[in-house]
Every structure is written in structure tokens, then in C-alpha cells.
Amino acid sequence: MLNKLLKYDLKSNFKFMLIFYALALFFAILTKICFAHATNLAIQIFAYIFNGTTIAMIANILINNLMRLWVYFKTNLYADEGYLMHTLPVPRKNLFTSKFLTGLIILITSTIVIVATTAIAWLTPESFEALKNFLAPMAEILDSTATEIIILMIIVVFLEVFVMLISGYIGIILGYKKLSNRTGWSILFGLICYVVIQLIILFGVFILAGINPKIGNSLFSSEQLIPDISVLRPIYTLSIVLYLIIIALSFVLSQKWFKKIDLD
């Protein structure tokens, strides 16, 4: 039954998101074409308009994703539609798992679309070379490549956004255990959850700084004003590991809290 729920949830969400994906890619192509053929002022003006629109579309995908997924979670499981979903002959934990996987799949797709949009609109051999040169010193210190650094950054940002999504889900689950002002409580619990997760990550970095003096000096010493870039790799690695543990833990706890519900 989980695959049926997932199919239904994905269809419901992708139906809207596909429009935004298509628009982002469309404006990225227009930006590319206009900048490539900006031989006169009129085309240049169009190029800047499309450029701005593409940036807006990328922001829109990010914000729209989170907002839409939270609203969908709330309306599908706690509003009128919840009467249908919670009376389906499926284990309640599957309802949550489906929403969790839907969020994950949509965020992965959105990340791919954002990267593709960015590449189409602004990536040229010259800009790629400039980016590589910009990241080269960092790559050398980290004993890595520019591409690896970019991928690492994308992974951390993706996990950060996914944690935001999960915090929202947990907020809704806990908020709807209250008897009144459930939306208000949901927002409050979601914020608390997000702050707690960030504090756990920071605490992890503190511990790492205690173990590794190089990180400690780089982050907390008043004598070293320019941070040592080489400490980024262990910090990134630790953040990714902590994010994954927190996401797994949040999933288990959410399923537990989701077992008992009281619909309006």
C-alpha cells in the first residue's frame, strides 16, 4: 500500500511543481539565448529581464517547495482530507512515510532542476573556468577539486533544506496534539525543532573543535581572524553525518508521535 500512497502523494505535488520547473528551465534558456546574442540594447534589456526572472524562479522553487509540502502535509492529514486518509486500510506509519519520501523526492528533483537551471542560464566555458580558478586555492588546501567542493556544498544545503522540511512536519504533528490554536502551536513547535537541530549541529562542531585544535583555533581564537580553510572539510563531513543521523532520528520519532491523532 505504501507504493500506492507514494504514487498518489507524488502526483498531487508534482502536478504543480512541474509547472515551476518548466518555467525555470524556460527562462534559463531565454537568458542563455539573449546573453549569447546581445548585439543591441533591446536584446540586452530582455536578457537582464530574463536573468532576473530566472533568479526569481529558482527562489520560487525553493520557497514554493517547502510551503507547498507543509500545507499539503497539514491539509492531507489534519484537515478535512484527513478523514479520508486516516480511514484508508493502511498502517498509519505508512501515511507519514509516504509524505517523508515525497518530500525527499521532490527536494532532490528541485535540486537537480535548480542546478540545471543555473547551468543553462549562466554556465559558459569562461564562467566555469572563472569558478574553477576562484575555488582552486580552496581545493588545493583541502586536497580536493573545485567540482568536489561544489558537490559538497550542494549536499549540505540540500540536507539543511530537508531538515527545515522535517522540522515543519514535526511541528505540525506536535501542534495538532494540542486542543486549540493548532496552527500557532505547529509553527512554534516547528521553529523550536529547527533551532534545536541547529544547536545540535553547533554542539557537534564545538566537540570537534575540542578534539581538533586546528578547528578550535580557526573558529574560536581571537588571534586568528582569517579562518583556516582546511578545517572546512571535517566540518562539512561532520555536518553531513549529523544531519543524516538527525533526519533518521526525526523520522523514527515522527512516526511514533504520529501513531495517535485527534482530528478536529
Point out which residues bind another protein (CB under 8 A).
1, 4, 8, 12, 15, 80-84, 86-91, 179, 260-263
172 contacts 73 by C-beta, under 8 angstroms: yes
Cα gap 26→58, rounded to integer Å = 12
* Choice between 131 and 261, CB closer to another protein: 261
Give 4 or 214: the residue with its C-beta nearer to another protein.
4
In whole angstroms, what is the distance from residue 77 CA to residue 170 CA? 13
C-alpha cell at 178: 494540542
Q: In angstroms, give the least distance from the CB of 2 to another protein.
A: 12
Tell me the closest approach of the beta carbon of residue 180 to another protein, in angstroms.
9
CA 194 to chain centre: 13
Residue 86 or 233 with smaller CB distance to another protein: 86
Provide the H-helix boundaries in 123-258: 125-141, 146-175, 182-211, 213-220, 232-258
Q: Which is nearer to another protein, 31 or 65 (CB)?
A: 65
CB of 69 to another protein, least distance (A): 15
CB 180 within 8 A of CB 165: no
| Pick from 147, 158, 149: nearest CA to 114 | 158
Give the number of other Cβ atoms within 10 Å of residue 24's Cβ: 27
Residue 4 or 37: the one with the smaller Cβ distance to another protein is 4
Cβ of residue 86: shortest distance to another protein, in angstroms? 6
| Minimum separation from the CB atom of position 230 to another protein (A) | 51
